[in-house]
Structure 1
Amino acid sequence: MKRLNLGLPRLYFRFYVAILVILLLFSLAVRQVWSRSGGPLERSNVTLSHVMQNVLAPPDAPREQQQAALENVAKGLNAHMTLYTRDWKTLAVVGDQIPARHWRQRGITGPPPESFVRLPDGRKLLSSEPLGFTRPKAMLNNALLLLAVGIGIAAFPLVRGLTRRIERLQHGVESLGAGDLKARVQVEGNDEVARLALSFNRAADQIEQLVGAHKTLLANASHELRTPLARIRLALELIKDGVDPKRRAGLEQDIAELNELLDEILLASRLGAVVDDTEFEELDLLALAAEECARYDDAVLDGESAVMQGDPRLLRRLLRNLLENAHRHGRPPANVRIGSAERMAVLTVWDDGPGIPETEFERVFEPFYRRRNTRDNSGAGLGLALVRQIARRHGGEARCVLMADGRSSFEITLPLAAKRRAD
């Protein structure tokens, strides 16, 4: 069974993208709020810069005063501090000097700065001990980025685990639809997917039981019906001299029709089963058609060789049903033509009768449907239904189409063999 492909991303991918989009929108919203109102970290840094400017000496004070003020700030902090001018000239140093641009250059000795405070007057204070929050907006952006990456990495196995269970359930449904009546899915967890898996398994159990009961019923019915039919036929043979010949012929015809009906019902049931046990072999559809047309005096065959993979017994039954339909309900001769188009063998059957009205093109393929006002109303109405079932079992189709002269014909399309397609 082919998988349905609508060109859409897989479910787990859509789930995952949805989570990432939500994270992105959340990050943008937080940044927007921060930029408009100013976060507490940003306000604390502004406050710290003003406090440091008030504690330190004015920017135009002598270096001794700058040094004394900086030592007063560093007292008890056990920190290395360096005060620079607006253009990065050294004003005062406590402990080891922290080089300017330390974090942008390599090979520079000295303690790295833990805090960078830009004073309102343009001076820069570098400290080896943290005095406040460094670049709060950058910290916020980095934190949001790390949060998004962390949630994205953690969400993927969760989303993939959920959709993988759904994919296993899909595989079970496809297996059941393809004919594996024993297909079941593993029940994992205790959520909606697990309950869906339980429901599928229960439905599969019921389908398997129903199909088994259906097969058993048909087999038993066939056996029970054939036994009395055989006794009736034997009784007719024993009392043939005491039965009116006309009545005897009618009874024999009734018995033959019942036997044919049983054969058609059993074949229709087997073809309608989901399990495909048809054995294919390479054959020439033209040769099969020639054998079947030889059974009728009024059958005309024309066409070309069409090599395909198929079940000879079923394809003979398809041809026989079409010819028998033309013999019973049409006018001789029955014409059979075999051609090919678009890597498909095309079998066309028609007769010289008026054909089938266009309104009944689909109904004639319904089981037990029989058209009225035909010259022969015998048959159970399963012949054309079997034709369509056999064609579909071979990967083809059966339909009723209009010909150029306005009459109808039966057109059967069947896949050609691979070698034939290559030619």
Structure 2
Amino acid sequence: MPRLYFRFYAALLASLALLTLAVVLLWQWAGAPVELSDRTLGTLLRNALPPAEAPPEQQQAALERMTRGLRADITLFSKDWQRLAYVGEPLERPDRRMLRQQRMERMERMEARQHGEDGQRGADSRRNEHGNAGDRRGGAAHEAEAAQRAGPLDQARRWARGDEDIDRPLRQRRFQMHLDDGRHIVSNTPLRQAPSRMRLHTILIGLAIIIAIAAYPVVRRVTRRLEHLQKGVESLGAGNLSARVEVKGSDEVAALAASFNRSADQIEALVGAHKTMLANASHELRTPLARIRLALELSKDSVEPKRRAGLEQDIAELDQLIDEILLASRLDAVGERTENEELDLLPLAAEECSRYDEADLDGESLIVRGDARLLRRMLRNLLDNARRHGVPPTTVKLRRSGAGKDVCAEIVVQDAGPGIQQSEYDKVFEPFYRSSNARDSVGSGLGLALVRQIARRHGGEARCAKLHTGRSAFVITLPLAQPA
């Protein structure tokens, strides 16, 4: 299933593509007015000018008639770029090399003319060297003026040689148009109205690409916050009541995150209050239960043995229920300390199996880290459940499961009975749940719920699964202790 930010981003890209396509189609449908104006202008110029093979005089007259009233320099060239006519200053072919050659020739002519003028002034100064002081000052002024004029000539010469940018002081922008008959018109004023269709398409595509690249981090930022919110919801649903999400910004996503945090606070407070009340009530029940047990002991001579045995069994079951409620409350308590030591499951399982007449143990030594008291309670609850609701004998198997880094310890408990229906595989781990075929059975209804709590407390899991034999069994997985 595609991620949400991919959907947002795909929708944005699709919108940009549709916009670009719509503009292009509209351009085509409208007849491409810019290009149409270029073609129209070219056709008008060609019709107004004489044929390409007409004498230059006719083309000059036609060009002057066409450009009457315009303050522009326009030059008409033949197909092979021979000048046919011009208005204003004659323009050259817009070629950098030709422009450089032209400027070189022009600088040489200016330099030759300058040398001629300087030589003439020098001769005049020598003829008048015996004149008055004013004349001598005049000759010096002429020489200074010549030196001053030589500066720009040297700079122009450097431009012409390419030592400096020739286009910086001398460049004048040129606009040209090619007629259908091969002639060219060059002007220093624009001849066209707007860019061509291909250039417009390129601009639109480039703009769409820029918007698409710039929009990705924006879309990703919004969906990343939604992903964080999703992780918080999943963590809360998995039982982590302290799960919260960071609130960023002031938009709808931030408001949703704040609402989630407030709801999680209320849920955590309600569940905590419920667990505290249940634990306190269970603890307070121990005092009247002890009194009932004491009264039964004092009046055992006046109570029939059969009735006394039933009362003692009821008191034992009630005491077990209270004990399991207190244990479940401690396991759910945040920050409850659990002993963490290396334990071998094989002797623990052997010790618990020895308490039951028809319980067999088969397996290997498996080292895990955990609380020995809780792990014994987990095995005891599994064996009690098999004794009460199953058919003997009960088999306990210890084995390794998985491979590589995923290898773990696995405990399989199975009896000889028909097992549990597949629709109840998860329900049997709910507190106070009783199977459909065991409504009147004894037990507190918390035994298997404690089994799952203890397994998860140790980083494992408890589940009910169907084995290759066709019968169901309880499977507990625990992480193996890592070697030091």
Alpha-carbon distance in structure 2 between the residues aligned to 1:157 and 1:359:
47
- Measured after TM superposition, the shift of residue 78 of structure 1 is 4.9
Which residue among 234, 245, 250 is the counterpart of 1:189? 250
Residue 396 of structure 1 corresponds to which residue in structure 2? 461
Alpha-carbon distance in structure 2 between the residues aligned to 1:360 and 1:27:
56
CA contact (8 A) 2:358 2:392 kept: yes
Q: 1:176 to 1:323 in 2, by over 3 A?
A: closer
Alpha-carbon distance in structure 1 between the residues aligned to 2:434 and 2:10:
57
- Measured after TM superposition, the shift of residue 303 of structure 1 is 1.0
Q: 1:216 to 1:364 in 2, by over 3 A?
A: closer
- Measured after TM superposition, the shift of residue 336 of structure 1 is 1.9
- Measured after TM superposition, the shift of residue 289 of structure 1 is 0.9
| Percent of aligned pairs with the same amino acid | 54
Larger mean Cα displacement after TM superposition, 267-276 or 79-88: 267-276
Which residue among 287, 290, 314 is the counterpart of 1:254? 314
> Structure 1 stretches of 5 or more lacking a match?
1-5
Larger C-alpha radius of gyration, 1 or 2?
A: 2
Q: How does 1:95-134 map to 2 (within 5 A)?
A: 95=89, 97-100=91-94, 111=171, 113-133=173-193
- Measured after TM superposition, the shift of residue 229 of structure 1 is 0.9
State the Cα deviation string for residues 264-313 of structure 1 (Å, max 9, x = none): 23444555689897665443222321222233354332211223344433
- Secondary structure of 1:346 counterpart: strand
Q: How does 1:44-59 map to 2 (within 5 A)?
A: 44-59=37-52
Q: 1:286 to 1:123 in 2, by over 3 A?
A: same
- Secondary structure of 1:339 counterpart: strand
CA contact (8 A) 2:409 2:480 kept: no
Q: How does 1:3-402 map to 2 (within 5 A)?
A: 8=2, 10-70=3-63, 77-93=70-86, 94-95=88-89, 97-100=91-94, 111=171, 113-133=173-193, 135-177=195-237, 179-181=240-242, 183-186=244-247, 188-191=249-252, 193-268=253-328, 281-330=341-390, 332-342=392-402, 343-351=407-415, 353-356=416-419, 358=421, 362=425, 364-370=428-434, 377-393=441-457, 394-401=459-466
- Measured after TM superposition, the shift of residue 153 of structure 1 is 4.7
Larger mean Cα displacement after TM superposition, 318-327 or 32-41: 32-41
- Secondary structure of 1:338 counterpart: strand
Larger mean Cα displacement after TM superposition, 57-66 or 217-226: 57-66
Larger mean Cα displacement after TM superposition, 94-103 or 307-316: 94-103
> Structure 2 stretches of 5 or more lacking a match?
101-161
State the Cα deviation string for residues 124-180 of structure 1 (Å, max 9, x = none): 212222122354213312331343244335534542343243234234324434514
Q: TM-score scaled by structure 2?
A: 0.71
CA contact (8 A) 1:306 1:339 kept: yes
- Measured after TM superposition, the shift of residue 320 of structure 1 is 0.5
What is the root-mean-square deviation in Å for CA atoms of aligned residues?
3.7
Alpha-carbon distance in structure 1 between the residues aligned to 2:374 and 2:6:
46
Q: TM-score scaled by structure 1?
A: 0.80
Larger mean Cα displacement after TM superposition, 141-150 or 275-284: 275-284
Residue type of the alignment partner of 2:42: S
Residue type of the alignment partner of 1:205: D
How many residues get paired? 407
